[in-house]
Amino acid sequence: MSKRTPLIAGNWKMYKTCGESVKSAQLLKSLVDGVTGTDIMIAPTFTSLQPVFNAIKGSRIDLGGQNLHWETEGAFTGEISGDILKSAGCSFVIIGHSERRQYFGETDETVNKKIKAALACGLKPIFCIGESDAERDSNLTFSVLDKQVQAGLKGLVSDDLKDLVLAYEPIWAIGTGKTATSDQAQEVHTFLRASIAKQFDDPLAQSLRILYGGSVKPGNTAELMSMPDIDGALVGGASLDAETFSQIVNY
């Protein structure tokens, strides 16, 4: 089996105006120009998607959306569909981020609908899962993650999931400065790969990219990436600065 290609993905959240996004994307494009063997993705705000796509065109950087609605179109004020994301140049979409679950009522059921919608229109879903501090302290990490994976991928079969990316983001490590140790992250990634093998099959489990997210910085990327089951990073705060993000890409 060929080695899984690492993916370093930047989630810009609700930061940067259109102009700032384009400037940042142009700088990043020049900084990662010589990178080979690693996939790179950035997910700016919805209003910046098209201008950023134009700025990174011809580079090795892919564009991602931060969310989507499961319907293809309709009277859903303030929402955005997979086809709209695609038309703006997106090839990826982040689904089920803990901030969406925490602040906007995202559930395992809506995550499942969104993953199906993304796959149906040819977007690669970055499916986010993670446990809270309390859940980890109660030794519930594996049961919480197993439930999220099973519910999020319900009704799908192995052939549907060739483009799926899984992102493990312990909620206690997002924007807190706390990071899972490389051994903690590896333990969870090993469990997730086994969970996918059990729910689907081993070939999918072995080809599936599993990213780590949660206070990823240039200083901890190399150690995390040295773990056999960590295939990349979903980066929040540190992706907002092109220089810093390029250092993570060049781990």
Residues marked active site are found at 97, 169
Please name every residue paired with 8 in a beta bridge, in sequence order, or none if there are none: 40, 233
